[in-house]
Structure 1
Amino acid sequence: MFGGGGGGLNPRKMEQMMQQMGIDVDEIDAEEVIIRTEEHDLVFNDPEVTKMDARGQETYQIIGSPEQVESGAAGGGDAGSEADAGVPDEDVELVAERAGVDEDAAREALEENDGDLAAAIADLE
């Protein structure tokens, strides 16, 4: 598409052309990228990630070799802790404060209302 012949365009000229077309390219300092599918997760450790914004349409390019792991097994840190706990602690505290109840009652009301803050507060009042 760009250039032709031997080695294509030099990177600086390519960047200038992309800017003229309204395309911004940024490198993202990613430690890990996880792509979840129904069957498995693809985990890219220390990948090269590039974000390209072409007039509001964002595209991400991931360069690296993924490891295929069991679905849901990937992810470190606190990534799944809120999902495992059900309802975020901040929501429980807010409902408990607004409804004037203890956190156990607030958590139970949130769980019964699928995390809907307003509905949980209304049930407790």
Structure 2
Amino acid sequence: MFGRGGFDSKQLKKMMKQMGVEMKELEGVEEAVIKLSDKELVFSNPQVQITEAQGQKTYQIIGEPEEQEKTTEKTEISDEDIKMVLEQADVTEEEARKALEESEGDIAQAIVNLKES
């Protein structure tokens, strides 16, 4: 089984199967992304292997990641939108802005949310 040249991969796979460990390659992976609190690691065209043992799946990503800053998309909120919401819901400018941010810029939803609270 284990010789001077290393190990026999067929024997190793057989032993792993006997121990209840199954390995397979995940096909068709175009991109894998790991999101951290301050950045993202993006793997383009990685190899991904799945190992399953005792009901647990472990994913192994093989490839070179590209570090990217984490992007936070903020909805643009115009002064006109704020004015409309504050007039319709009879709230302060701060409350109108917050409601628009929470509704991702949806004016009608912001007004409904403010009137319900």
TM-score > 0.5 by shorter chain = yes
Q: 2:21 aligns with which of 20, 23, 40?
A: 23
Q: What are the residue-to-residue correspondences of 1:1-125 with 2, within 5 Å?
A: 3=2, 6-29=4-27, 30-72=29-71, 108=109, 112=113
Deviations 1:53-72 (A, max 9, x none): 00111111111000001114
In the superposition, relative to structure 1, how do residues 72 and 24 fare at CA in structure 2: closer, same or farther (>3 Å)? farther
- Cα distance in 2 for partners of 1:7, 1:35 equals 36
Gaps of 5+ in 1: 74-85, 88-103, 113-122
Query: Aligned residue for 1:99?
Result: none
Query: Aligned residue for 1:116?
Result: none
- Cα distance in 2 for partners of 1:40, 1:54 equals 31
- Cα distance in 2 for partners of 1:32, 1:19 equals 29
Report the secondary structure of 1:38's partner residue. coil
- Cα distance in 2 for partners of 1:7, 1:38 equals 44
Instruction: Indicate the structure (1 or 2) with the bigger Cα radius of gyration.
Output: 2
Q: TM-score, normalised by structure 1?
A: 0.54
Return the letter of the residue paired with 1:20: Q
Kindly report structure 1 stretches of 4+ aligned residues shifted beyond 2 Å. Answer: 5-8
Q: TM-score, normalised by structure 2?
A: 0.57
Deviations 1:96-117 (A, max 9, x none): xxxxxxxx97xx39x95xxxxx
Gaps of 5+ in 2: 73-102
Identity %: 39
Report the structure, 1 or 2, having the larger strand content.
2
Query: Aligned residue for 2:92?
Result: none
The Cα shift of 1:39 comes to 1.3
- Cα distance in 2 for partners of 1:71, 1:7 equals 45
Aligned length: 80
- Cα distance in 1 for partners of 2:59, 2:48 equals 7
